[in-house]
């Protein structure tokens, strides 16, 4: 049984996060024989948003595609890049027609990887429904069909067809609510190869393969300084929590007890069916 290996890396936070990604990801790819890498980069620019410089460094470190979330809009000067560079996504379920795209098919070594970026609504700014957004993307009448035209005859694009042609469907669900994340995982079980949550910066210990063959984890964690508060300076976060004054947050500095870490998952996927075989957490410094 031919097996594909996918690495997904949790939110890269600031300079320390990018530096540890550059240090560890290339060796991880080589050691594990990784076929495809997805990195969430929405916090790469000093904790808030992403710029051309961080995007380039993440891709050069070995990412095949960058996903994001609500902070992708922080740097307005980066919005045109979302339109120009197909290697970076923003959540697909923003209403209207904002800059960028929410999904992308990348063919690598003759394997079509369909990556979909979605954002949650519970305890976050309400946007369009992520459940319906996934269905719309997969809809056989949608624009996605054109990406698979070389693979299709007249059958249209359905989950069965995606599996038939070995398409690996990967979802980054950028959401606050554990309940919403788990609900989407079960909703997509058997239709997505991997559903991984991002946004909270706290790696969860619930990685598993669901009954219909979807690898799931509530949150990948973060790639950055783990000794702070979700990658940010501890004192500032304490001051904000104690006083409710919105002091400007800064990334935590590496120091003894605050070494930056790379966090994420490695999933194995059956090349012939697109079903997940295994999933394990990654955590290294």
> Residue 103 belongs to what H/E stretch?
strand 103-108
Q: Is the dihedral of CA 26, 267, 222, 129 positive or negative?
A: positive
User: Within 10 A of 103 (CB to CB), how many other CB atoms are there?
Assistant: 23
241 vs 2: CA distance, rounded Å: 50
Strand, helix or coil for residue 177: coil
Exposed/middle/buried for 187, CB within 10 Å: 0-12, 13-18, 19+? middle
Reduced to 3 states (helix: H, G, I; strand: E, B; else coil), residue 245 is coil
- The backbone torsions φ and ψ at residue 103, rounded to the nearest 5 degrees and listed phi first, read -150, 160
Rounded Cα–Cα distance for residues 38 and 25 (Å): 11
Known catalytic residue: 199?
no
CA–CA distance, 181 with 218 (Å, rounded to integer): 6
Q: Which residues make Cβ contacts (< 8 Å) with residue 243, sequence separation at least 6? A: none
Please say whether the dihedral angle defined by the alpha carbons of residues 70, 74, 76 and 81, taken in this order, is positive or negative: negative
Q: Among 71, 174, 199, 201, which one carries the catalytic annotation?
A: 71
Q: How many angstroms separate the CA atoms of 279 and 216, rounded?
A: 8
- Enumerate the active-site residues: 71
């Amino acid at each position: 049984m031919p097996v594909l290996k996918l690495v997904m890396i949790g939110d890269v936070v600031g300079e320390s996060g990018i530096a540890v990604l550059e240090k560890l990801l290339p060796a991880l790819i080589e050691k594990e024989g990784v076929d495809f890498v997805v990195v969430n980069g929405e916090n790469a620019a000093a904790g808030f948003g992403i710029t051309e410089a961080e995007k380039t460094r993440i891709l050069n470190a070995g990412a095949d595609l960058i996903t994001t979330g609500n902070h992708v809009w922080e740097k307005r000067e980066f919005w045109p890049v979302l339109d120009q560079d197909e290697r970076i996504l923003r959540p697909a379920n923003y209403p209207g027609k904002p800059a960028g795209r929410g999904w992308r098919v990348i063919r690598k070594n003759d394997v079509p990887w369909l990556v979909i970026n979605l954002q949650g609504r519970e305890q976050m700014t309400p946007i369009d429904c992520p459940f319906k957004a996934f269905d719309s993307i997969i809809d056989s009448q949608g624009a996605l069909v054109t990406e698979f035209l070389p693979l299709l005859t007249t059958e249209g694009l359905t989950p069965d067809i995606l599996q038939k042609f070995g398409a690996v469907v990967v979802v980054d669900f950028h959401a606050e609510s554990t309940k919403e994340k788990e609900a989407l995982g079960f909703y997509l079980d058997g239709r997505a190869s991997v559903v991984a949550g991002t946004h909270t910066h706290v790696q969860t210990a619930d990685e598993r393969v669901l009954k219909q063959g979807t690898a799931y984890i509530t949150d990948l964690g973060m790639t950055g300084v783990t000794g702070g508060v979700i990658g940010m300076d501890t004192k500032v976060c304490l001051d904000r929590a104690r006083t409710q004054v919105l002091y400007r947050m800064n990334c935590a500095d590496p120091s003894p007890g605050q070494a930056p870490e790379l966090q994420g998952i490695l999933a194995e996927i059956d090349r012939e069916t697109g079903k997940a075989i295994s999933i394990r957490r990654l955590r290294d410094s």
